[in-house]
Amino acid sequence: MGQGAGAVTTRQRKVHIELDKGHSQLCGTAVRIFEANDRLNQILIENLDPSVWVVKPPGSRGSSVRTIAAIFTHMHNIRCKWIRLTAPHLNVPIQLNRAHCTTRQARAGLAESAARCAEMLAEALDGDGRIKEFRRDGWASPWPAGPEMLCYMLAHEAHHRGQVCMLAHQLGSPLSNQMTSRMWNWERLWKDSGRD
């Protein structure tokens, strides 16, 4: 009977080690995925016609319609909110002003907020319990920290990249076929982000 109990303990240790290893892999993969996601944002800004950065689409009225500058500013500012609400111990980047944001400021801001989001994801998924919840907004119920937060973050940014592509097209400066193909080439994004 003593041997059986010892065998179970050894087996439990092996399972625990494998779970820790899997958790560590998930954490590292999530960080790399978010880095590749931000690389895609950077490539999109690099390849946009600068003349459409602050132009509203034809026929739009009112302040509720966002320019491309306002969309990227929103993406950065929402990341700042996620960090502030979920991981207030991290250094929250300065928010960008959507009315005066240049492409250079947007790229720098997005790079900084991506780095903080990557830190937040690493801490949330590493299993140490420092980040227990993902708070995407002050009014929304928090979610347990997990891969769902990465999915939400990616979906939010993909939605807005789609808006940018559509808006550039509406403004007469559609992205080239080469560029749109590049946006779907995750193998290259992965490699460009320094990953094998």
Which of these ranges, 32-46, 76-90, 126-140, 147-161, has the smallest mean pLDDT?
126-140
The domain containing residue 139 runs over which residues? Answer: 2-192
Tokens of 2: 């003593």
Three-state SS string across 56-119, please?
A: CCCCCCCCCCCCHHHHHHHHHHHHHHHHHHHCCCCCCCCCCCCCCCCHHHHHHHHHHHHHHHHH
H or E segment and range at residue 140: none
Question: What pLDDT is attached to residue 17?
Answer: 37
Residues 36-56 have a mean pLDDT of 94
Q: Give tens-digit pLDDT for 91-109.
A: 999 999 999 999 999 999 9
Domain count of the fold of the chain: 1
Assign residue 41 the CATH number of its domain: 1.20.120.450
Burial 150-162 (b: 16+ CB within 10 A, else e): beebeebbeebbe
**Position 193 confidence tier, pLDDT thresholds 50, 70, 90:** low
Q: Give tens-digit pLDDT for 1-31.
A: 444 444 444 444 443 334 344 457 778 888 9
**0.75 surpassed by pTM:** yes
Q: Give tens-digit pLDDT for 107-161.
A: 999 999 999 999 999 999 987 778 999 999 989 899 999 899 999 999 999 999 9
**Position 65 confidence tier, pLDDT thresholds 50, 70, 90:** confident
Question: What pLDDT is attached to residue 184?
Answer: 84
